[in-house]
């Protein structure tokens, strides 16, 4: 028989009703991956891009050359940020279910990717996240009320009602505007970093992209520009195994790791246990030092698992086994850091429960305040006429005309502005 070409269509190891199976994941022992100097040549990171940088073992002990040796107070701050991020997510999801916001995206199970990386960077470093790194906002001390007001499109919304929930931005906090269009932020972060280099500043840029989104050409643009100009940028690729219903193999992860793409472009690639707070902190610190010293960019693949649905519009029981999250071999980042702190004698179940209560109170109080600035169904409301602002710096004639047209319609009561119950979601 003559061999013939045959279309290979990747399919995940398990679908609903089947046993979860993560045997495809290559795991290294904690402490096993070596830690090169930051001046390492991209070609010499081939191994790092295949192995998995891990610091925390199942015994909760930190081991190996990547141990960042953080002091317990710093670890406790990390735990607090991750826990707050999770509680905030849970609360916002419930609020969406009650029909009080139109949409939400949780980061459950992958909080360390944002929180540990955010903590390893400096406040002046510019962040270009995707929609699943709310932990960065928490790390930088953003008031939860601000985030909630954005989700509510109310009078305190930094986007003035123009964006769907979770599309935050924060100029003074150095966090760029989140885009609904996937991957666009990746090459933009490279451009920001190039500008820092042009201006001779020592701030660096960091961006995050999902493994699914890395199929967009923007990924290639970012890698090429970063490599060509040796831009001071950290390119994080969050491999949480799923992109809505398609598993990471559909994005190109079946035969090579995503981190391995780095050396192909001449950029060091590191594959890290994304649920290991210490490991994520350490590789970020390493990459930041590299960028700040003018050595160049780094690609970091964070291996994690999207424990929640893609968004509140999604039902993952249609495409993956319900029990997958429980079977995930790299555990839960919060439980792991908590276990580590307890093993160090620096934390306890009681303190954890107390912290959880305290943060719950904070989230509740924030929500109360946010609601007082208006909700989709009542309270103070933004002026609809503001929708014509910021299209351009100066409002052109045709928009002035349309604004006046709308003003007349509103005054005449022709446009019904009474609250609309949330329609069926896409």
User: Which residues make up the interface to another protein (CB under 8 A)?
Assistant: 7, 9, 11, 15, 102-103, 153, 157, 159-164, 167, 179-182, 212-213, 215-218, 243-246, 250-252, 313-314, 318-319, 376, 382, 384, 387-388, 391, 398-399, 402, 406, 409-410, 414-418, 420, 422-426
Comparing CB distances to another protein, the nearer of 102 and 289 is 102
CB of 130: closest distance to ligand TPP in angstroms? 6
Chain CA centroid to CA 276, Å: 15
CB atoms within 10 A of CB 25: 15
The residue whose two tokens read 């954890």 is 352
CB of 271: closest distance to another protein in angstroms? 20
Beta-carbon contacts of residue 405 (< 8 Å; ≥ 6 apart): none
Q: Which does 47 bind (CB under 5 to 8 A by kind): ligand TPP, another protein, none?
A: none
CB of 316: closest distance to ligand TPP in angstroms? 11
Comparing CB distances to another protein, the nearer of 44 and 405 is 405
User: Quick one: angle between helices 277-292 and 72-97, nearest 10?
Assistant: 110
CB of 27: closest distance to another protein in angstroms? 25
Calpha distance 55→50 (Å, rounded): 16
Tokens linked to 7:
């279309």
Q: Which does 228 bind (CB under 5 to 8 A by kind): ligand TPP, another protein, none?
A: none
Select from 49, 111, 30, 42 the least CA-distant residue to 279.
30
Comparing CB distances to ligand TPP, the nearer of 137 and 375 is 137
Q: Which does 301 bind (CB under 5 to 8 A by kind): another protein, ligand TPP, none?
A: none
DSSP string, 19-59: PP--TT---PPTT-S----TT--GGGGHHHHHS-B--B-TT
Calpha distance 107→132 (Å, rounded): 5
CB of 314: closest distance to ligand TPP in angstroms? 9
CB of 342: closest distance to ligand TPP in angstroms? 30
* Long-range pairs, 58-63, Cβ under 8 A, ≥24: 58/30, 59/343, 60/336, 60/339, 60/340, 60/342, 60/343, 61/340, 61/343, 62/278, 62/340, 63/30, 63/31
Interacting residues toward ligand TPP by CB under 6 A: 132, 180-182, 210-213, 240, 242-244, 306, 310
Comparing CB distances to ligand TPP, the nearer of 219 and 281 is 219
Comparing CB distances to another protein, the nearer of 295 and 382 is 382
Q: Which does 63 bind (CB under 5 to 8 A by kind): another protein, ligand TPP, none?
A: none
CB of 117: closest distance to another protein in angstroms? 23
The residue whose two tokens read 């795991």 is 27
Alpha helices, DSSP H only, in 154-244?
Answer: 185-199, 217-229
| Residue closest to ligand TPP, measured at CB | 210
CB of 153: closest distance to another protein in angstroms? 4
Cβ–Cβ under 8 Å, residues 323 and 305? no
CB of 166: closest distance to ligand TPP in angstroms? 11
- Residue 378's beta-bridge partner residues? 375
Q: Which does 240 bind (CB under 5 to 8 A by kind): ligand TPP, another protein, none?
A: ligand TPP
Comparing CB distances to another protein, the nearer of 14 and 343 is 14
Calpha distance 403→421 (Å, rounded): 25
Q: Which does 306 bind (CB under 5 to 8 A by kind): another protein, ligand TPP, none?
A: ligand TPP
Q: Which does 95 bind (CB under 5 to 8 A by kind): another protein, ligand TPP, none?
A: none
Comparing CB distances to ligand TPP, the nearer of 247 and 388 is 247
Comparing CB distances to another protein, the nearer of 222 and 282 is 222
Phi/psi at 302 (5° precision): -95, 115
């Amino acid at each position: 028989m003559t061999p013939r070409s045959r279309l290979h269509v990747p399919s995940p190891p398990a679908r609903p009703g089947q046993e979860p199976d993560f045997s495809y994941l290559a795991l290294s022992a904690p402490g096993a991956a070596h830690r090169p100097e930051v001046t390492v040549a991209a070609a010499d990171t081939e191994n790092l891009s295949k192995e998995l940088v891990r610091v925390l073992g199942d015994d909760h002990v930190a081991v190996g050359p990547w141990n960042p040796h953080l002091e317990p107070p710093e670890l406790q701050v990390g735990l607090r940020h991750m826990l707050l991020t999770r509680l905030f997510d849970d609360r916002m999801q419930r609020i969406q279910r009650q029909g009080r916001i139109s949409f939400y995206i949780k980061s459950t199970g992958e909080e360390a990717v944002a929180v540990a990386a955010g903590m390893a960077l400096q406040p002046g470093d510019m962040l270009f996240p995707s929609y699943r790194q709310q932990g960065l906002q928490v790390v930088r001390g953003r008031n939860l009320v601000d985030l909630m007001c954005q989700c509510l499109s109310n009078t305190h919304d930094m986007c003035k009602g123009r964006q769907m929930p979770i599309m935050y931005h924060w100029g003074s906090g150095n966090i760029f505007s989140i885009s609904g269009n996937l991957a666009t932020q990746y090459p933009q972060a490279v451009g920001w970093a190039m500008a820092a280099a042009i201006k001779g500043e020592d701030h660096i840029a960091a961006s995050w992209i999902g493994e699914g989104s890395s199929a967009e050409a923007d990924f290639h643009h970012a890698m090429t520009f970063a490599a060509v100009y040796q831009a001071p940028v950290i390119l994080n690729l969050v491999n949480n195994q799923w992109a809505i219903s398609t598993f990471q193999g559909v994005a190109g992860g079946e035969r090579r790791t995503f981190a391995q793409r780095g050396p192909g472009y001449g950029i060091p690639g590191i594959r890290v246990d994304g649920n290991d707070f210490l490991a994520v902190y350490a590789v970020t610190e390493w990459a930041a030092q590299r960028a700040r010293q003018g050595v160049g960019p780094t690609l970091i693949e964070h291996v994690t698992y999207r424990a929640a649905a893609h968004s509140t519009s999604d039902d993952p029981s249609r495409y993956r086994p319900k029990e997958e999250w429980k079977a995930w071999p790299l555990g839960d980042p919060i439980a792991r850091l908590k276990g580590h702190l307890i093993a160090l004698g620096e934390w306890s179940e009681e303190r954890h429960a107390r912290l959880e209560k305290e943060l719950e109170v904070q989230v509740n109080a924030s929500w109360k305040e946010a609601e007082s600035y208006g909700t989709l169904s009542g309270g103070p409301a933004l002026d609809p006429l503001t929708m014509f602002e910021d299209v351009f710096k100066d409002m052109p004639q045709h928009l002035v005309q349309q604004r006046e047209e709308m003003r007349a319609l509103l005054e005449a009561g022709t446009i019904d502005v009474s609250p609309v119950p949330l329609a069926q979601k896409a």
